[in-house]
Amino acid sequence: MKVYGYIRVSTREQNEDRQLIALKEVGVLEKNIFTDKQSGKDFNRPQYKKLVRKLKKDDLLYIKSIDRLGRNYEEILQQWRVLTKEKGIDIVVLDMPLLDTRRGKDLMGTFLSDIVLQVLSFVAENERTTIKQRQAEGIAAAKAKGIRFGRPPKPLPQNFHKFYQKWKEGEITGTAAAEFCGMALSTFRYRAEIYEKAKLS
């Protein structure tokens, strides 16, 4: 039996020390700890995949909390079943003692473990959905206040007004106007639309 640990942080800036300390305290060797620095929305993570390939029947895997395993409700449940049923390993979730597959191997123990896992997985995904919703609402509120996202548009070329007028009056085509301004036709039309709105406001 080998003992492994899995750590996940959402971004490269986040610190994994808290999880690392917790795993070392239960005796996981540093060489057996696998760390991913990316989102938990799915299981397409290099270190997690590498860990799963190494796991053998009766091995033991420690994780700090269920959301470190992932944040997608369906996928957490699926992975849990793959690890415990197909791989035949034990999993211990340090922040939730009920999620310790070494205990309660009888029907009641398995039943309780499954219920706790389903509830926690749902909470983890619900939290992820809430964060995404808050981000979307924050962006919408910022846009409503006139805050722009992305790169600022390039300043209009000095001859834009001249050729915009010629185009508007039908003296030249949009393609010709775009060429004179050094733009793609789609860019010229887009900037002309904004320019027109600015003139009307």
Question: Count of alpha carbons within 13 Å of 109, Cβ hemisphere only?
Answer: 10
Among all residues, which ones are annotated catalytic?
10
The tokens for 194 are 């904004």
Residue position matching structure tokens 């290099």: 46
3-state SS assignment for residue 149: coil
Sign of CA dihedral 9, 55, 121, 62: negative
Gyration radius (Cα) of the chain, Å: 28
The count of C-alpha atoms lying within 13 angstroms of the C-alpha of 86, restricted to the half-sphere facing its C-beta, is 8
Token readout for 138 is: 């924050």
Q: How far apart are CA 23 and CA 7, in angstroms?
A: 9
Q: Say if residues 47 and 19 touch (Cβ distance below 8 Å).
A: no
